Structure 1
Amino acid sequence: METKAPSFLGTGWSFPPTFSRRSGGVLMVSDDQDIRESLWVLLSTSLGERVMLPNYGCELRQMVFRSINTTLTRQIQDYVQQAILYWEPRIAVDAVTVQRDATADGLLTITVSYIVTQTNTRSNLVYPFYLQEGSIPVQGP
């Protein structure tokens, strides 16, 4: 059995958590994939949702049912940047853009462009945010 060296960028549970019948454990992800999935979880978690970490998360759900305008998009950018600043120290945010998606009513596309500070690797995450009840459910990365 080959052992893999530990990742200096981190290793964590996959999102959504996936269990292996063969090994009997949880599927783990490392490096850039771990960062992407960590960002997805961060943006999907409301403040106060985690009992032991009540300040963990992003205030995106407070934006549901609001009218799409410049104020809303700027607030979302600020919430996303602040959450990442506090909870994802492995990256530096280049830009957060929020755009109305033309394919679905009430859908905003949040794009986070970032640099992994340890490797100087550029990447991005596109996160769909639905403003209307009954919209298409958010799926993981």
Structure 2
Amino acid sequence: MNRETGAAINTVEHIAQSMTDVLSTRLGTRVMRREYGSLLPELVDHPFNDTTRLRVYAATVMALMRWEPRISLSRVQFLGATLQGQSFLDIDGSIVDTNEPLSLSVPLKLGGGV
């Protein structure tokens, strides 16, 4: 189910929604799941350089390997933020059960919402 509209969604859309939730959740903020989330929200104000990019990749892979067992990752790419302040992760891999290729652009909602 789509979290914003309540409409039915397919497996790939549900995986994308789940990945966005995992990656944008700060560690320690879920009451009964303190380990749920990723380190990405901690990297919001860091300078956009090679070190930060490597930390983004590591935080993404570690969080998705732990919290999204339906996928197998093969590539993660982070290009930075757009002029509107939106960040996207391009993720390639496959769905574990069907071995179907998966290519997603996951929006990161790491700052304050409007």
Fold shared by both chains (TM-score > 0.5): yes
**CA distance in structure 1 between the partners assigned to 2:27 and 2:62 by the alignment:** 12
Of 21, 28, 32 in structure 2, the residue corresponding to residue 52 of structure 1 is 32
CA 1:106–1:40: 2 relative to 1, 3 Å: closer
Point out which structure has higher relative CO (alpha carbons under 8 A, 6+ apart).
2
2:2 maps to amino acid? S
Structure 1 residue 122 corresponds to structure 2 residue 101: yes
Structure-2 residue corresponding to 1:62:
42
Q: Secondary structure at the match of 2:73?
A: strand
- Count the aligned residue pairs: 114
- Higher share of residues assigned helix: 2
Distance across 2 between alignment mates of 1:28 and 1:106: 29
| TM-score (norm. length: structure 1) | 0.69
Tell me by how many angstroms 1:40 deviates: 1.4
Contact 1:106 1:130 in 2 (8 A): no
Deviations 1:17-74 (A, max 9, x none): x34xxxxxxx443422221111111112111111111101111111111110000001
Structure 1 position 106, deviation (Å): 5.4
Percentage of pairs with the same residue: 29
Q: Distance in 2 between matches of 1:126 and 1:99?
A: 11
CA distance in 1, matches of 2:10, 2:85: 34
Q: Normalising by structure 2, what TM-score?
A: 0.83
For residues 71 and 33 of structure 1, do their structure 2 counterparts lie closer, same or farther at Cα, with a shift above 3 Å needed? same
Q: CA deviation at 1:109?
A: 2.9
User: Match for residue 85 of structure 1?
Assistant: 65
More moved, 56-65 vs 28-37: 28-37
Which residue of structure 2 aligns with residue 34 of structure 1? 14
Instruction: Report the Cα distance in structure 1 between the residues aligned to 2:79 and 2:103, rounded to whole angstroms.
Output: 15
Instruction: Give the letter aligned to residue 3 of structure 2.
Output: F
Secondary structure of residue in 1 paired with 2:65: helix
* Distance change >3 Å, CA 123–CA 105, structure 1 → 2: same
Question: Secondary structure of 1:46's partner?
Answer: coil
Q: Secondary structure at the match of 1:49?
A: coil
